[in-house]
Structure 1
């Protein structure tokens, strides 16, 4: 059962700040998600495919010459 004396315009006005807050939060989350995607697409994670060889020390450099 619904309330017998409902004023929809007053309820719209009363809930407007809450609805703006929800929309604002959704926009912030969407911007953070897009930023996160951009960050990881521009900086791919290291998967270990590249292997760096250590620099030669003095004794190893003399042995190879």
Structure 2
């Protein structure tokens, strides 16, 4: 069953803080994931350079 009287404008206003929170969480996860991937790839690059210096 659905509610008989729905006010779409009022629902948009009331859900706005929750939607901002969700989008902030998604963006934060992307930033943290990017930093983590960059850090791990930098470690691998340093290790491969160190391995090359052993052979030179």
Same fold judged by TM-score > 0.5? Answer: yes
> Which consecutive residues of structure 1, in runs of 5 or more, have no partner in the other structure?
51-65
Q: Whose radius of gyration is greater, 1 or 2? A: 1
Compute the displacement of 1:39 (Å): 0.2
With structure 2 as the length reference, what TM-score do the two structures score? 0.76
Q: CA RMSD in A?
A: 1.7
Gaps of 5+ in 2: 52-56
Which structure carries more helix by proportion? 2
**TM, length-normalised to structure 1:** 0.66
In structure 1, the residue matched to 2:22 is: 22
Runs of 4+ in 1 over 6 A off after TM superposition: none
